[in-house]
Amino acid sequence: MRNALQCVQENSYDVVLLDLTLPDSSGLETVTSIRHSAPDLPIVVLSGMDREDLALGALKEGAQDYLIKGQVNGQALARTILFAIERAHKPRSAPPQSVVSEVALPAKLDVPEAVNQAEAPALKALAGRSRALTDIRQIIKRIGPAESTVLITGETGTGKELVAQALHETSPRNKFPLVAVNCGSIPETLLESVLFGHNKGSFTGADRDKRGLFEAAKEGTLFLDEIGELPASLQPKILRALERREVLPVGSTSPVQFDARIVAATNRNLPAMIEKGQFRSDLYYRLNVIEIHIPALRERPEDISEIVDVLLRRLCGKMQRPVPTLQPAVRAMLEALPWPGNVREMSNILERLMLLTDGDVVKESDLRNIGIGIPSKDTDDLKLARHSFEREHILRVLGKCGGNKERAAKALGIDLSSLYRKLSD
């Protein structure tokens, strides 16, 4: 480790690729030392240990990514390194990119001096022309610079972390980190230590004092994802932290102040959980100062085509290939899918499509080749057969109309709302 630190101090590098298993030092200590010696030098950790506590520790100490040996191929490793270098060379004025409906607002918000919202990548990435997405973008611009706690709700895969990142990027806190933690992915016995920190000797394996994420977020933003999964034993402690702006590390009797803004998200129905005694009402009201609800993708089909274009540009950029043209029938098929997994499912399908197709034009057959298409006509059920024929006919007409739904509805002899309904059935 000493040789590595000396090299970092005496030379200029684009990125550090670090193995946590070192002969003369702890890998996490090395991350910390490099971060102190070269704050702007990106660090990518490659480890043979698939342990969430190590991953969280490395990211908290300043590593940009944590990859597991045997679970990442050379292409993915190269892409991660290139992305780390690209982010490190962005202008200092650009906000950091960490981790990552109609809304009733107070009549007046105490909004600090505005920040340059035009430079918020996450805000631009919230694609869609529906009224719901337009309102969400406006609400982010309005409350991003405020200090209010925000609760983001919506189904899995709708983009809650992207909204949290946009809130951070449009706030004056964007000079400090956005720290994200999934409250449902960390064991209950470990979560308190991860959030609040611990003192040396407070439990087996606690060989030194450790800051929690509340403190690590500094003056930035702490994103508590899946807050509905928070164990009952931790809910009063989170409430106390939010009310007093301080946390009590495990094994300590001295509270630690923190100054991070809190943004939480959930795919659960918290009011229903309150009625069942599964979530504290006082914590809910403390978190839900302002709520941003993201509707499911099936509720805003007019956003699908634009989201497809954004995801394709991102995927093709990573794969270093030209963005293909989608035939109108392909767009119509994508817009007709119910997308139960929302944008995350769409991203997965488009990545599969880009990996398995080579041409400059994506055809209807390409979608069918990866298992995406209309229901099979090979059925004896009259209702299913009628539904299959109707959908196939609508998609064919949409293709003939170049994907223009107004023209297609007129050609089909139905109104536009009926067309949207039939496409979402």
What is the block-wise mean pLDDT of the chain (425 residues), using blocks of 10 residues?
Answer: 77 84 72 82 79 65 71 64 65 35 34 46 91 94 89 95 96 92 89 91 82 92 96 95 92 91 96 96 93 94 94 92 92 86 92 88 86 56 67 73 79 86 70
Tell me the domains of the chain and their CATH numbers: 2-88 (3.40.50.2300), 117-295 (3.40.50.300), 299-424 (1.10.8.60)
Q: What pLDDT is recorded for position 115?
A: 43
**Which segments of 156-220 are extended strands (E)?**
178-182, 197-198, 210-211
Q: What pLDDT is recorded for position 83?
A: 63
Distances in Å between the Cα of 410 and the Cα atoms of 90, 173, 200, 302 are 49, 50, 71, 17
Residue 198 contacts residue 249 (beta carbons within 8 Å): yes
Q: What pLDDT is recorded for position 117?
A: 47
Q: What pLDDT is recorded for position 67?
A: 74
Sheet containing strand 16-18, edge to edge, reads: 16-18, 43-47, 65-68
Q: What pLDDT is recorded for position 424?
A: 63
Model-level pTM? 0.64
Is the four-CA dihedral 238, 243, 246, 250 of positive or negative sign? negative
| Percent helix / strand / coil, the chain, rounded to 5 | 50, 10, 40
| Rounded (10°) CA dihedral 135, 140, 141, 143 | 120
CA 15 to centroid of chain Cα atoms: 24
Q: What pLDDT is recorded for position 7?
A: 83
Q: What pLDDT is recorded for position 162?
A: 95
Give, to the nearest 10 degrees, the angle between helix 52-61 and helix 188-196. 10
